[in-house]
Amino acid sequence: MGRTTLVVGGSGMLGEPVARRLAAEGHEVRILSRNPERTRAKLGEQFEYVQGDVENADSLRRALEGCTGVHVNLMGGPRAEDFDRVEHLGTKRIADLAARANVERLTYLSGAPVAGEHWEDPATKAKSLAEKAIQQSGVPYTIFRVTWLMESLELFIRGKNAIIIGTQAHPVRWVAADDYAKLVARAYELPEAANKTFFVVGPEGYGKGDAMRLYIEIARPELKLRFMPVWLMKTIAALSFNRQLFADVGRMAFYDTIGDDFGDPTESKRILGTPTTTLRQWCEQQAAKRR
């Protein structure tokens, strides 16, 4: 079909499902990696691997040669300047070079809070600036402002504990990564998905604590759920000089005050379709994988 799509972040938790879905839909998928051999060992032989880094323009230029599309899934941190350097400036570099390479579509994983311009959260600020850079690049784009993805529940696990910082009672409509990946692949097929920013939600809402309870019940019964006050975790992070923990606590304090009511998913559902995987179904899938 003559389509080569570069996936930036293709070895990550949320980039890998996109890479696999694009390949299943007939794309020749090229994955940018700082360590191609290690990434090949993880993902297999079905992809082309190129060595590169989002901070190295020459490597990006080589990786984009002959590509008709590029999907960007980045994560910076833990410091604000790291989010800006990777998520914002890295994405801007990709978008600018993609324009010069005549790439026909750029897709990008953003986040739902960008719609509210919550500038106190460094990750959200970086994503907002990345969106603007994409829109100004001239490359036809599709931006996905996604609520919480189910796979992120794994990030709350520390040893034998699942730790929720704050109450996290506000319900969010969780999205399975495989459903999100299907929407990304569909966007490449549809002209009406060009130059659109889609708000993507799942079929049902759970607070993070309730979501984790269900996950533990079905897939990880060996885990113990613990709720930790924000002030206590901030104190632990400060005393331990743990920058990553301090950033995580700051983000969870931010999310403790909000749900996912940032936008209208109607256009996303109309053009791309609706995520259908429920949290219970996803948990059952994870349980089956662990058997």
Could you tell me the pLDDT band of residue 2, with boundaries at 50, 70 and 90?
low
d(CA 93, CA 8): 12
Please measure the distance between the N-terminal and C-terminal CA atoms of the chain and give it in whole angstroms.
38
Token digits for 202? 């799942």
Q: Would you call 168 exposed, middle or buried from its count of C-beta atoms within 10 A (0-12, 13-18, 19+)?
A: buried
d(CA 174, CA 257): 17
d(CA 77, CA 253): 16
Helix (H, G, I), strand (E, B) or coil at 97: helix
pLDDT digits (tens, 9 = 90+) for 93-111: 999 999 999 999 999 999 9
How do the domains of the chain map onto residue ranges?
Answer: 4-149+176-201+261-274
Over range 25-30, report the average pLDDT.
97
Q: What pLDDT does residue 158 have? A: 92
User: CA dihedral defined by 179, 128, 113, 116, rounded to 10 degrees?
Assistant: -140
Instruction: For strands 4-8 and 69-72, give the pairing.
Output: parallel
The structure tokens 């109607």 sit at: 266
Q: Are 1 and 63 in contact (CB under 8 A)?
A: no
Alpha carbon separation from 172 to 1, 147, 153 (Å, rounded): 38, 7, 13
pLDDT digits (tens, 9 = 90+) for 48-106: 999 999 999 999 999 999 999 999 999 887 788 999 999 999 999 999 999 999 999 99
| Bridge partners for 143 per DSSP | 108, 197
d(CA 18, CA 177): 8
d(CA 186, CA 25): 9
**Fold (CATH) for 4-149+176-201+261-274:** Rossmann fold (3.40.50)
Q: Kindly report the average pLDDT of the chain as a whole number.
A: 93
pLDDT digits (tens, 9 = 90+) for 167-213: 999 999 999 999 999 999 999 999 999 999 999 999 999 999 999 99
The residue count of the chain comes to: 291
Q: Are 147 and 173 in contact (CB under 8 A)?
A: yes
